Amino acid sequence: MEEAMSRDNDTVPPTAETANASAIASALGALVFATVRQLPTQSQTAFATDLARLARNAERQGQTPEEALLLNLYRVAVAAAK
């Protein structure tokens, strides 16, 4: 019997739920990027720092999906600030 996922490839097969989650994450990233671009430099840094702090708190609470999303949004904020 074939396995749904190989041991070498631990990715989850796409479903409507994962597609929706991916779309939401992409939309949030776009929103963060656009927002940070409109902020003064000092506020851009504070925005990115807040996202990093929120990700750290999610990590401490064992909320891995939230941590991953917040880290991605932090990276977007840093990229937008350049």
Question: What's the pLDDT at 53?
Answer: 98
Per-residue pLDDT, averaged over 6-21, amounts to 71
Question: In three state form, how does the secondary structure of the chain look?
Answer: CCCCCCCCCCCCCCCHHHHHHHHHHHHHHHHHHHHHHHCCHHHHHHHHHHHHHHHHHHHHCCCHHHHHHHHHHHHHHHHHHC
Q: Where are the domains of the chain?
A: 40-82
Choose between 5 and 23: higher pLDDT: 23
Choose between 48 and 17: higher pLDDT: 48
